[in-house]
């Protein structure tokens, strides 16, 4: 990571960045992506990360926006893929009919699965980040309560976020609101079955992905698991079928 950004981090987050680079053998580069500035609100996360066999990037909206907690979140994502060898859920290029929409949706699914693992560690390191995730959950469940949403999108988002709030924020006041929304749309039983099936297998990404796809109705044919190896500069995709 560039020295001007590394020096702005707290000691423990700086150590994490150096550990990720040392263990992966590649650099984590900070890149300013001005288009992300539109997400600068209390409820959105304007940082992002991209990882590949040759390195990783942390995308920030402006040179002066580099908060410790958000950087920690993205570094935990990168560590999972480049150091721990955890696969990413990606689209299968041979799937018909393929579309960019499928790639976007699967990226979103993968991000949600990863959050079930990394956000608990994030909160252990930075308990104050709980306020951020509380705001995120309040916004999401407010949006899910709207009648006009696509039924499939609502069901998938509701099940995913019920699992998140049960697993990550079990003492949150949002649980009550979420359960009311689930009940209104008849999703309570499905959400609870999903949570009970997914949480016990989170230590295995491969098993978690299969449970996720089964309960959320994601066809296995459209997806694959991508394993990144930075030490030989390769990535390998394994179909879920």
**Which residues are registered as beta bridge partners of 228?**
235
The answer on 101 and 50 residing in a single domain is no
Last residue of some domain: 84, 105, 137? 84
The answer on 118 and 32 residing in a single domain is no
User: Count of domains in the chain?
Assistant: 2
The answer on 80 and 96 residing in a single domain is no
CA distance 50 to 12: 22
The answer on 21 and 42 residing in a single domain is yes
Last residue of some domain: 36, 66, 84? 84
The answer on 118 and 65 residing in a single domain is no
Which conformational region is residue 217 in: left (phi greater than 0), alpha (psi within -120 to 50 degrees), or beta? left
CA distance 213 to 89: 11
pLDDT at position 35 is: 87
Pairing of strands 55-60, 48-52: antiparallel
- The predicted-structure confidence for 141-192, as pLDDT tens digits, reads as follows 999 999 788 999 999 999 999 999 999 999 999 999 999 999 999 999 999 9
Last residue of some domain: 84, 100, 130? 84
pLDDT at position 53 is: 97
The answer on 123 and 55 residing in a single domain is no
The answer on 32 and 143 residing in a single domain is no
Residue for token pair 């150096």: 18
The answer on 2 and 71 residing in a single domain is yes
pLDDT at position 37 is: 82
The answer on 208 and 124 residing in a single domain is yes
The answer on 45 and 144 residing in a single domain is no
User: Could you tell me how many residues make up the chain?
Assistant: 241
pLDDT at position 97 is: 83
pLDDT at position 42 is: 46
Kindly give the parts of the chain with pLDDT less than 50: 42-43
Q: Structural domain of residue 184, as residue ranges?
A: 86-241
The answer on 209 and 106 residing in a single domain is yes
The answer on 77 and 93 residing in a single domain is no
pLDDT at position 43 is: 46
């Amino acid at each position: 990571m560039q020295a001007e950004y590394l020096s702005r981090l707290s000691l423990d987050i700086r150590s994490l960045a150096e550990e990720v680079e040392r263990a992966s053998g590649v650099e984590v580069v900070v890149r300013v992506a001005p288009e992300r500035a539109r997400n600068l609100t209390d409820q959105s996360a304007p940082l992002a990360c991209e990882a590949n066999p040759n390195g990783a990037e942390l995308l920030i909206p402006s040179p002066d926006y580099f908060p410790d907690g958000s950087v920690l979140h993205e570094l935990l994502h990168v560590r999972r893929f480049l150091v721990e060898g955890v696969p990413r859920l990606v689209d299968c290029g041979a799937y018909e009919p393929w579309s960019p929409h499928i790639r976007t949706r699967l990226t979103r699914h993968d991000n949600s699965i990863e959050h079930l693992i990394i956000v608990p560690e994030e909160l252990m390191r930075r308990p104050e980040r709980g306020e951020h995730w509380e705001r995120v959950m309040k916004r999401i469940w407010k949006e899910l309560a709207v009648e006009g949403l696509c039924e499939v999108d609502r069901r998938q988002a509701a099940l995913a976020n019920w699992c998140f709030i049960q697993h990550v924020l079990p003492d949150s006041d949002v649980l009550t609101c979420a359960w009311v929304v689930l009940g209104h749309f008849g999703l309570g039983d499905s959400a609870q079955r999903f949570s009970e099936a997914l949480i016990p297998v989170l230590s295995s990404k491969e098993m978690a992905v299969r449970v996720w796809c089964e309960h959320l109705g994601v066809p296995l044919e459209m997806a694959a698991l991508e394993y990144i190896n930075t030490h030989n500069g390769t990535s390998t995709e394994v179909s879920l079928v």
